[in-house]
A and B are shown apart, each in its own frame.
Chain A
Amino acid sequence: MARILAIEDDETTAREIMDELGSHGFEVDWASDGKAGLERALSGNYDLITLDRMLPNVDGLTVVSTLREKNVDTPVLMISALSDVDERVDGLRAGGDDYLVKPFASEEMAARVEVLLRRRSRPDRHTRLRVADLELDLVERRATRNATVLELMPTEFRLLEYLMRNYGQIVTRTMLFESVWGYHFDPGTNIIDVHIGRLRRKVDMPGLSPLIHTIRGSGYMLSEHH
């Protein structure tokens, strides 16, 4: 069971993070300020840290950069009230692995935690991804399903690649937008759904069991089983 440290000064937010991650089967510890958080992060053996950007005593940026200086490479999900691109860049440059802006939805936070944990346990070194009868050749940029070559647009290819890299995981629309298009704002409309819809028509051909599933209220998941 993965152990997670939540460094968060607001008690209710911390409680929600703990509850949500707890319901995903994680063991969550809570540190309410930067100093205590840093101590525990350095001593305890955690698989992931959620870190508030603005904390009393020691600031979130300092916490993460201190961790990296001491060669602690635990994945860090930064949670911040500052949505500006510069803030995001600062957070990631200091050593954060992902950046989530307040106010956030619990599912979004949980999905990001899952993806970060997955990335740690299963590094992306493959040149060929495979889920059931769906195969993606990353070198030749070719997708096949049930021995049929899929005609994918570059965007669709990247979408499918991201879904396949995180198969069995819920990925949110924001996560898809950030990783496939590389931008960090709320696209606002149902545009991601439309893109997924297009991809789904090509991947989940009639007669084959669907691989791309919609998770209501959260996002999407690529998986053999629903």
Chain B
Amino acid sequence: MSITELSRTVAFRLTLFYSLFFTLCVVMLLGFIYWQTAAEMTRRVDQVLLLEKTRLAALRPGSLPDEIEKSIQRDRRHIYFYGLFAADGRVIAGNVAQFPQGVPQDGGIHETMLPASTAQVRPFPARMLAVRQESGNRLLVGHDVQQLIEFGEIMRRALFWGGSLTILLGLAFGLALSFRPLRRVKQIQLAAGLVMRGNIKERLPVSRRHDELDMLAATVNSMLDEIERLMFEIKSAGDNIAHDLRTPLTRLRALLHRLQQQLGESSAQRAMVDQVIGEVDSLLLRFRALLRISEIESKQRRAAFKPIQLQDILGQAVNFIEPLAEDKTISLSMASAPVAPVQGDSELLFEAVVNLLDNAVKFTPPGGKIEVRLCQGVKGAQIDIVDSGTGISENERTSVLNRFYRGGNALQTSGFGLGLSLVIAIVRLHDFGFELGDARPGTRATIFCWPPSV
């Protein structure tokens, strides 16, 4: 089974949906925690900065540079920054190399980049506030927020990778989960295919898990039981009718024959009786063909099959039909490639081929041609019977295979619509395939000598 098939299962879609939903929830939760933490940390930094501002503002202006140096000394972690700048920008005290441009000296907190200094090699992000003193000096208090930003980075990376992994795992899990149901659906498809090809005894597999697929399979199975029962009833009703008709038909034919014998050659009624006998004979022929199809359909005798050389069977059939074709000036030819023997019933296969050839002769106008080809097909021997006749339209092809149906253009041609049903019954018994196709112009009848399921 392919990835596309697997990815279309309900199990896969549900798993994928859940994993996406789960990832989204986790991202939202962690994001919220991060956001709250970061906000709290920023608030604390800001609070400290405001406290420092208040503390420094309370000092005498003369002691400010000393206090700044002390504060810097106390800060072992080097996260606080102080700067006292003269009006001309000169550094009076502190560890900030120069006053950052564009920062208002309003005592409010701003986030900006502070230039490199003794403590920091590169410019770094910081939250800071600046005030202009009465002396015209500018006081700056800052707090390094590099860690805070790094913390955010780490959180974002964690969310990205965590989320991606969850989704990937969800995908893999979904595929794994859909594998089993899909395999079971495939088994069900296989069994249903066998039923559709006429193996009505076949049932869908039911596991011991009693899951929804089993419930469905069990329902379909009881439906099949019912269909099989109905089919059997119809078939046995048909068979009974046919069986009951045998004896009366034999009697009818015999009585007519007796009547025919009693009427003299020259009697006026003789012609009519002859005609009636002709009709009864064609009735008997059809009747026997019907019985024969029913017999073949109900047969279970594949065990008695023997290896058959198809070349021989086809050769015999061609020889048998050839005079019929010749009478109609139809050229009948055969081309055969060597093929391995097939397992089958030579009598039935001969009958099938003769029926197909007989049909081909009927539907091919005088002067046409019929070709019998035997070749190695995709998975075994393949028999093609191609004629240059009137052809069968797409619509007619299926109905032509049904019992009693005769192609619309065949009404003027004698013969029995049962021929193809018989062919199909024989082909089915052998577990071979049969197809009617367009040979442009004409019809191509093909017997594939391998099971249709392969």
**Chain A residues close to B by CB (< 8 Å):** 10, 12-13, 16, 19-20, 23, 81, 83-86, 101-107, 155, 181, 183-191, 194-195, 197-198, 216-217
Q: Are A107 and B323 in contact (CB under 8 A)?
A: no
* The residue from B243, B291, B347, B415 contacting A189, defined by CB atoms under 8 A apart: B415
Q: Please report the C-alpha to C-alpha distance between residue A102 and residue B327 in the assembled complex, in whole angstroms.
A: 32
**Are B319 and A83 in contact, with the CB atoms below 8 A?**
no
Q: How far is the CA of A108 from the CA of B260 in the complex (A)?
A: 15
* Contact across chains for A155 and B319 when beta carbons are under 8 A apart: yes
> How close is A128's CB to chain B, nearest CB, in angstroms?
26
Q: Is the CB of B247 within 8 A of A12?
A: yes
The reply to whether B257 and A106 contact each other, CB–CB distance below 8 Å, is yes
Residue contact A105 to B253, C-beta cutoff 8 Å: yes
Which partner residue on chain A sits nearest B304 by CB separation?
A86
A84-B295, A183-B350 are contacts. A101–B251 as well, Cβ < 8 Å?
no
- Residues of B near any A CB (own CB < 8 A): 243, 245-247, 249-251, 253-255, 257-258, 260-261, 274, 277, 281, 284-285, 287-289, 291-292, 295, 299, 301, 304, 316, 319-321, 323-324, 327, 345, 347-348, 350-351, 354-355, 358, 414-416, 419
Which chain B residues lie closer than 8 Å to A83 at the CB level?
A: 288, 291-292, 295
- Tell me which residues across on chain B come within 8 A of A197, comparing CB atoms: 323, 327
Residue among B287, B291, B295, B416 making CB contact with A188, cutoff 8 Å: B416
Q: Distance in Å from the Cβ of B300 to the closest Cβ of chain A?
A: 11
Contact B295 A103 (CB under 8 A): no
Tally inter-chain residue pairs, CB-CB below 8 A.
102
Most chain B CB neighbours (cut-off 10 Å) among A12, A102, A181, A188: A188
Residues of B within 8 A of A12 (CB): 247, 251, 254
| Complex Cα spacing A12 to B301, Å | 34
Q: Is the CB of A183 within 8 A of B347?
A: yes
A185 & B351 in contact (Cβ 8 Å cutoff)? yes
- Distance in angstroms from A108 CB to nearest chain B CB is 10
Which single member of B258, B281, B358, B419 contacts A19 (CB below 8 Å)?
A: B258
Q: How far is the CB of B2 from chain A (nearest CB, A)?
A: 46
Q: Report yes or no: B358 in contact with A185, Cβ–Cβ below 8 A.
A: no
* Contact residue among B251, B285, B304 (Cβ-Cβ distance under 8 Å from A186): B285
The answer to whether A16 and B255 have CB atoms under 8 Å apart is yes
How many Å lie between the Cα of A186 and that of B415 in the bound state? 12
A-B pairs with lowest CB-CB distance, top 9: A16-B254, A103-B250, A103-B249, A194-B323, A106-B257, A12-B251, A106-B254, A102-B246, A185-B351
Chain B residues with Cβ under 8 A from A23's Cβ? 261
Who on chain B is nearest to A198 by CB? B323
CB distance from B358 to the nearest CB of A (A): 6
A103 engages B246 (CB within 8 Å):
yes
